[in-house]
Structure formats: structure tokens, C-alpha cells
Structure 1
Amino acid sequence: MGTREQTRLKVVLVTGPSGAGRTTAINVLEDLGYEAIDNLPFSLLPGVVDSAPGDRPLALGLDSRNRDFSPTALLDAISLIAQRQDVELSVLYMDARAEVLLRRFSETRRRHPMAPAESPEIGVRRELTLMAEIRERADILLDTSDMNVHQAREEIENIFAPEGRTLAVSIQSFSYKRGVPYAADLVFDCRFLNNPYWVPELRGLDGRDTPVQNHVKGDSRFDAFFDKVLDMTRFLLPAYQEEGKSHLSIAFGCTGGQHRSVTLAETLAKALAEDAPQVSIRHRELQG
């Protein structure tokens, strides 16, 4: 293996099940200045990393469609690269729920690569099982189930911004009726706060509107709850950076994902503007 004495080569391995957004991630990284290579045979992986000039970061797309794919082979390749002192490795796993992957394949009418002669449902289940160990090994898990391609692109840009940018923080609101976003690092339940839904003039508004925010913040428990969340977040930001993390995901949930969780997400994003300039915000139920 060659050595790079001056700087470590930044390598991002992009993987995940078919239909979760791996190609989108590769394209975004290429736009950010990475040298991008997709569907690279595993046998060529060590040579590609070893021969990279080092003046540009490297993004490599690897998944079950590679002709020599196996979970063991990919995990071995990850371990081999991670041991190198001249390489800074990140594994980005693009993920999505099984029903979302199935819907995406149904919409495109494509055959699933893991079940070309069978139903896409069989292929989705087979691939998720096959990729389970790799998902556990990933450094960054990005769930695109509730994102369109533009939102996924924005999240990837926030995570893999040019050098010199700070830790990327994504904050989202959600409804417990549709389930917890399982890729979130921190999840806070704010269903105990005053619910604007029961106020007729507030029901049609959402947590971005001042009257709704005033109602939620009027709860005597709001200030203590928010102060604790903000204090913990500020404590975690430098801790995540020291650990080499590039992304922190925070989610607030309430019954409908319209009022209380949106208020908390908006309030935290505003409070973190100075601590973490690289903050993105999504309201899952409001954005569809």
C-alpha cells in the first residue's frame, strides 16, 4: 500500500438497499468535489483507494448489484480500508422502509435486482436481510423514507459539506401516528404540552405560526423542558465533533405532527443558529 504523508485521503463508501437513494448520494458527493465511482467491483477497491492522488476526496458506490457482492466481502473491505492510517473512512448507508422501497419500485415498474424473475416485494425483503449487517456497521444512516429527492440532496449536502464547515444538525418534527423516524439520534416526545388542536381558531394553523407557538409556550412546563433539551444539545455538539461525527439528527414528536412538535423544532433551530450554523429543519407531516 502507498502512503500519504501530508494529508489523509477522505473516502466515503455509499451503500444501502436499491431504491433508497444511493445514486442520488453519489451524484451529490460528485457535485461537492468528490471523485465518484459507482458500482465498483470489490476486487478493484483496494487498488482504487491506494492509487487515488489524494487531492480530492473519494466517493465509492457499492451495493448488492455489484457482481462480486456479499455482506462478508463488503465488511472485509470496510475493515481493510478503516485500518489504513492514510485514509479517513466514512460509510454512508442510504436507507428506507420496506413499504417505501416497494412503492418506489412499483412506481418505476422496474424489476428488483435481487428478484428479477419474482415480485419486487420478495426482492426488497431479500435485500434488506442481506444488508442488515452492513447497516449496523454504517457511520451515517440516512433514512429517505419521508424525503423527496430534493430533501435527500439537502441532507447529504449538510452532512458532507466542504472542509471547514461545522457539524451538521438536522431537526425534524413528526407524528407518532406515522411512527418514529428511526434514523434520529435524539427523539423527544412533546405530547404532554398544551395541544393547540383543541382550540378551534388554532386547529388549522401549525407550529410555524406565532399564535400556535404562543399557545404551546404558554404551558408552564415548556420553558423547563426546552431549556433541558437545549442544554443537552449544546453539550453533545462538541462531543460529537470530538468523536469525528459529521451529523446529529434530532426529532420532536406529537400526536399529529402539526403543532407542538413543529413549535419545538422551530424554536430549537433558532436557538442553535449561533452554536451550529449548519442546521436544517424538516416537518415530516407538513411536507408530505
Structure 2
Amino acid sequence: MAGVSTETATPPTPPIAAEAATSVPEPVRPASAAPSAEERPLRLVVVSGMSGAGRSTTADNLEDLGWYVVDNLPPSVLPDVCDEARRTGIRQLAVVLDVRTRSFFEQLPAMFAELKESGTVPEIVYVEASDDVIVRRQESVRRPHPLQGDGRLLDGIHRERELLATLRAAADLVIDTSSLNVHQLGSRITHAYGGPDHALRVTVLSFGFKNGIPLDADMIFDVRFLPNPHWVPELRPQTGLSAPVSAYVLSQPGAEPFLTSLESVLTTVASGYLHEGKRFATIGIGCTGGKHRSTAISEELARRLRADGLPTTVLHRDLGRE
């Protein structure tokens, strides 16, 4: 089972419900600013991704945060919906798009161009999950995949992944929900869209290399150069969230220079990310199993980034796994 930090920890819950997907060239993002509430333009979030990866859960969380949410809207009418939203005073609009709209791929480029001309540049949230997780979720709700046809469920998943490759590359925020429950996904969405829209929002993700590299990380750092508490008998059953393990890891030669250098890098690139219109950054911190070193370093890095004024949350992907 995946673990979360002391800030985001939640009990296990049922898997995310199944759904569907999309693809489009990356829109040009303007430099980020912090306008007043009166002059703030419409903020548009396009929610898409793999069927069964959590689009509906993402939309529900945005709605809970006060966003006006429209599901399964034909892309061709999105510019008109945005015009109506501006006219009626809506400033936060989320639209769920997927392959149930069969002309989706042909309509998206023209739709994005028209939105850009009107001064609204959409942000793309893309949710995905591994093939085996999607199969399990689809089978649990007894629904066929929208691209499955007469073939196997995996055939539909692979077809959808190919069709969505361009959209994924253009996404502002990619979330791999394979090891997340609905509450953990909700925490990611709340962190990303529940605060000011002019601040870079950072997620520090601890993980174990033996369980695979996180595909949704923007940067990955390896802390296996530090001594492993696993080989200290009294520390082995504990985790990086415990004070003894944290103190052991942070006191090792190299830990402080590493954290100081990484903090400097991230605070430096933050301004550049914002200038380029990138609002989110996921930083992967890996050790062997994701239990001791990466967890302790992630918590300390997050503490330092918060002190530097960067809204930061922590997710421990592999905490609790054997």
C-alpha cells in the first residue's frame, strides 16, 4: 500500500472509479502574474487522461474547491462556454474531455487556437495509471473500455495510451494514480488548485527504485549515496517519518550539502517555471525501497521549501510496501 506524509496520510479507500481520454499540441503559455481579483481572467482547466485513471474523481475535487465543472463537453463549443463563463462572472472553469466525443482529436487544435485568441490559455491536467491497475478498475465496475471494440481490454488501453501521447506531453500536471486512493488524489488536486494561481506548487514524492521510477516526476534525485538505516537493527522496523531514522539520515556526511544544493536549485528554477507558465513541479526523491532515506529527505526538503515560500506537499509512494 502506498503511504503519505504526516500532512496527507489517509486510510485506505476503494479504488478510483473508471472513465476515458484525449490528444493535442501544446499551447503557448504566457508569463505568470498575480493580478487583482477584479482583473483576473478566466482560468480554464482541461481534465483528461486514461480511462479508469481518475478523471471523474479529479473533477469532483475541483468542484468541491469551488470550480465550475462541465463533464463530456464537445470541444467545438468550449470557446462559447468560456465566453458565457466570463459574461456571468465565473473565473474558474474545469472541463472534462474524453474519447466519448469521437471528433475530439480533430477539434482540439482549432479549439485551443480560438481560446488563445480570446485570452484564455487552458491548463491541462492529465491522469494516468499502469495497465494492470486500469484493468483491475475497469473489471471492478464491469465496464468495457471505450476503445476496446471487439478486442481485449488491454487492446483498448494500449490504443488509448497511443492516442493520448501528445496530450500527455502537453500537460501542465501529470498525476499517476496507480498507487493513490481517492483521498490521496484529492490531496494532490487540492494542493494544485486550492490556492493562489500565481504560485509554483511543489509536490515532493519519495519512492523506492526497486518499485520503479515515478513517471509523473519532473525531476528525480537519488539518495542511495547515504548509509541505509535498514542495516541498523533498531532502525529497520521504523520509517523516515520517525525521529530516530530522520536524525540518523540527516546527520550522515553529504546529507546537508545535498539538501542545501537541492533547495538552491529548486528555488532558482521556481521563478523560471512561473515565467514560462508552469505552475506545478513534482520532485522525486528515491532510495532502494522508499522507506527510510527518501522519506526522511523528502520531509526535510519540503520543510525547507515551505520556509522559502513555496507551497509544498509530500507524498510517500512506497511507504508501507514490503
TM-score by length of 2: 0.81
The gaps in structure 1 that reach 5 residues or longer are none
Q: Which amino acid in the other structure matches residue 141 of structure 1?
A: V
The within-5 A match list for 1:72-221 is 72-81=106-115, 83-163=116-196, 166-221=199-254
Determine if contact 1:212/1:259 at 8 Å carries over to the other structure. yes
Instruction: Give the Cα separation in 2 of the matches to 1:193 and 1:202.
Output: 15
Q: Which SS does the other structure have where 1:240 is aligned?
A: helix
Q: Deviations over 1:141-161 (max 9, x none)?
A: 222122111111111111112
Q: CA deviation at 1:271?
A: 1.4
Change (3 A) 1:241 1:224: same
Deviation, structure 1 residue 45:
2.0
Which residue matches 1:65? 100
Q: CA offsets, 1:155-208, max 9 Å, x none?
A: 111111243673221111100011111111121100110101111111101111
- Could you tell me the percent identity over the aligned residues? 38
CA deviation map 1:13-41 (0-9, x unaligned):
11111111111111122222222111011
TM-superposed CA distance for 1:281, in Å, is: 0.8
Are the equivalent residues in 1 in contact too, given 2:59–2:94 (CA < 8 A)? Answer: yes
Q: Is the 8 A contact 1:159 1:168 kept in 2?
A: yes
**Is contact 1:13–1:62 with CA below 8 Å preserved after alignment?**
yes
Q: Which residue of 1 aligns with 2:67?
A: 34
Runs of 4+ aligned residues of structure 1 deviating over 3 Å after TM superposition are 162-166
Structure with higher RCO (Cα < 8 A, 6+ apart): 2
43, 48, 52: which is aligned to 1:19? 52
Number of residue equivalences: 282
Aligned partner of residue 159 in structure 1, secondary structure: helix
Letter paired with 2:212: G
Task: Quote how far apart the aligned CAs of 1:94 are.
Answer: 1.4
**Paired letter, 1:235:** T
Letter in 1 for 2:108: L
Answer with 270-279 or 124-133: which moved more. Answer: 270-279
SS at match of 2:319: helix
State whether residues 239 and 245 of structure 2, in contact with CA within 8 Å, keep that contact through their aligned partners in structure 1: yes
SS at match of 1:152: helix
Deviation at 1:116, TM superposition (A): 4.5
Q: How far apart, in 1, do the equivalents of 2:318 and 2:70 lie?
A: 35
Distance 2:251 2:65 in 1: 43
Decide whether the 8 Å contact of 1:8 with 1:88 is kept in 2.
Answer: no
Matched residue of 1:253: which SS?
strand
Counterpart AA for 1:247: F
Q: Is the 8 A contact 1:170 1:248 kept in 2?
A: yes
2: CA distance, partners of 1:207 / 1:152: 22
Contact 2:198 2:279 in 1 (8 A): no
Matched position secondary structure for 2:194? coil
Deviation at 1:107, TM superposition (A): 2.4
Q: Deviations along 1:51-109, whole A, 9 cap, x unmatched?
A: 22352221111111124333x4324423332x224314211111222222122112222
Q: Deviations over 1:97-131 (max 9, x none)?
A: 22221221122222111114432211111111111
Equivalent of residue 265 in structure 1, options 294, 298, 301: 298
Q: Residue type of the partner of 1:78?
A: F
Alpha carbons 1:92, 1:138 under 8 Å: kept: yes
Match of 1:230 in 2: 263
CA contact (8 A) 1:175 1:253 kept: yes
